[in-house]
Amino acid sequence: MRIALGCDHGGFPLKQRIRTLIEAAGHTVVDCGTDSDCSVDYPDFALKVGEVIRSGQADRGILLCGSGVGISVAANKIPGIRAGVCHDTYSAHQGVEHDDMNVLCLGARIVGEELAVELVKAYIAAEFTHEERHVRRLNKVLEIERRATSGDFN
Ligand code: RB5
């Protein structure tokens, strides 16, 4: 699997550990920055990861910021991106299995490195189940996205 990995300065302390983990598991990292703890703006990195996924250069993404919240809010504005902040392992795999989550967001100021490793392992190992009820719900989410992107809201 090709995984786009991006972070802001708040997420940077976790980035190298996550990168090493992904590569050790036999997957490819598409590095979307940032590359230091200098202050940057998380939407820029959410956008990079989203664009890499949309272009087909990566299958999924992982985004890191201080809380996981800002970068997930930004990522979810990008059509085709289904991002979730998951700080427990159940959500990290169930978000993929039921909701077809394609970007895992973590808060580096919230979770420690070892929990982050478990969360990423759970996320990477999970697959969307394609069960009828999950497909039905996903299609409803995609219909909301279609309406939003076609200006079909008051
Ligand atoms: C940066 O200080 C911080 O606001 C950001 O990383 C993130 O936590 C926002 O949700």
Cβ–ligand 1 distance for 100 under 6 Å, the answer no
Q: Is residue 147 part of a domain?
A: no
Q: Could you tell me the CATH number of the domain that includes residue 123? A: 3.40.1400.10
Positions in the chain short of pLDDT 70: none
Q: Global pTM?
A: 0.98
In a domain, 111, yes or no: yes
Would you say residue 15 lies in a domain? yes
Q: How much is the pLDDT for 154?
A: 83
Q: For residue 96, what pLDDT is reported?
A: 99
For residue 69, the ligand 1 atom closest to its alpha carbon is: 10
Number of domains comprising the chain: 1
In the set 7, 32, 65, 86, the catalytic residue is: 65
Domain range for 8 is: 2-129
Residue 56 has what pLDDT? 98
Residue 23 lies inside a defined structural domain of this protein: yes
Residue type, 1: M
Q: Is residue 146 part of a domain?
A: no
How far is C-alpha 104 from the geometric centre of its chain's CA atoms?
3
Instruction: Indicate whether 48 belongs to any domain.
Output: yes
